Amino acid sequence: METRVTIKEIARHAGVGTTTVSRVLNNHPYVSDDKRRRVEEAIAALHYRPSQTARHLRGGSSGLLGFLTDDVATTPYAVDIIRGAQDVAWAHHMVLLVADSGGNTHFAEAAVDVFRERAVEGIVYAAMYHRPVQLPAGLDGLPTVLANCFLEDRSAPSVVPDEFDGGYHATTAAINAGHQRIGFINLWEENKAATPPFPAIYGRLRGYRQALQDHDIPYDGSLAHFSNQTPQSNYRHTQELMALPQPPTAIFCGNDKIAMNCYSALAELGLRVPQDVAVIGYDNIAHIAEGLLPTLTTMQLPHYEMGKWAVQYLIENRGRTMEPLQVALPCPLVARESV
């Protein structure tokens, strides 16, 4: 069993009194530079970790933040939200408590109860993909920032990807490479009446259309397809695009999985990427984008940056009422070999 280092041991190691150690731990101004240095060196050498409970009982902060997700912790490309959040928390000497509900409402509410018991100073609520959400019960009074999701009424601060920005710059990359006929295999079902209100679907399409307009390229509805994201659907839409009287010379895919199936369909048609058809993906899923040959040019979802922003905003606003900012972060192009 691990033995907790005491203040007396630190004092003995540093050659100072326990009062001096206490003052250093509480950032008291009346400590000489020499004594502060010796105490800090002793703390590092002994691997001292202050008791969060004791700090809270003394009226100080708990030093804890809660991070509640649906499936982020088990989604390889979205888990960077946690990494970004944790990096900022550590930089401010705070600890992130992570709970993944798996989308189960009861688990989420139980996690909130645990966060309250641990006296967390704020909570980040994160979603696996960009969408509107409903927060679990029990968060009233707890500072909460949303990452990769938002409330319909925009009553809580949130940070999300700028889907329009991603669609615009993906299309612009194809145009800058000399392409005028650019197909778009968008997300979700072909039946547009049943398409859910997910920002990625509409934002990326608006960005695609705006980029065409800004470069004086007429929008052609026959080049814009919706896929239900099964391999069969992605494959079929690629073949349908290439069967047009004027087929595209570039295809913008709504995610990297669509791009992977697009590669396969083009190969069966005897077409080469990018010599015959350029392909651009979305998400920058490393094992897909770097595993395809040629490697896939794609748009990076700002998961890491969203996690950083959410925790930074929580920390900066401790003890104050948070403004319900709605922040959209850019999705940069990751250029590889497919354009």
| pLDDT the model gives residue 1 | 42
Residue 287 contacts residue 61 (beta carbons within 8 Å): no
Structure tokens at 132: 């509107």
The CATH architecture annotation of domain 7-49 reads Orthogonal Bundle (1.10)
> Are domains 7-49 and 163-300 of this chain identical in fold?
no
Strands 250-253 and 182-186: parallel
pLDDT, one tens digit for every residue, the chain (339 residues) = 446 677 788 889 999 988 788 777 766 667 888 888 898 898 888 887 665 545 544 445 778 999 999 877 666 767 899 999 999 999 888 999 999 988 888 999 999 998 988 889 999 999 988 999 999 988 888 899 999 999 999 999 999 999 999 999 999 999 999 999 999 999 876 555 555 668 999 999 999 999 999 999 999 999 999 998 899 999 999 999 999 999 999 999 999 999 999 999 999 999 999 999 999 999 999 999 999 999 999 999 999 999 999 999 999 998 788 999 999 999 999 999 999
Q: What local confidence, expressed as pLDDT, does residue 117 receive?
A: 84
The whole-number pLDDT of residue 81 equals: 94
**CA dihedral of 248, 250, 256, 258, whole degrees rounded to 10:** 10
Rounded Cα distance between 239 and 170, Å, is: 21
Strands 333-334 and 297-300, by their bridges, are antiparallel
> How do the domains of the chain map onto residue ranges?
7-49, 64-160+304-329, 163-300
Question: Do the Cβ atoms of 161 and 127 come closer than 8 Å?
Answer: no
The CATH number of 64-160+304-329, from 3.30.300.10, 3.30.420.40, 3.40.50.2300, 3.30.70.60, is 3.40.50.2300
CA-to-CA distance for 172 and 216, rounded, in angstroms? 12
- Any residues with CB less than 8 A from the CB of 86 and at least 6 apart, and which? 96, 307
Tell me, what's the pLDDT at 191?
58
Q: What class, spelled out in words, does domain 163-300 have in CATH?
A: alpha beta
Output the pLDDT for position 93: 87
- Is 2 buried (19+), middle (13-18) or exposed (0-12) by CB count in 10 A? exposed
pLDDT confidence of residue 45: 87
pLDDT at residue 49, rounded to an integer: 67
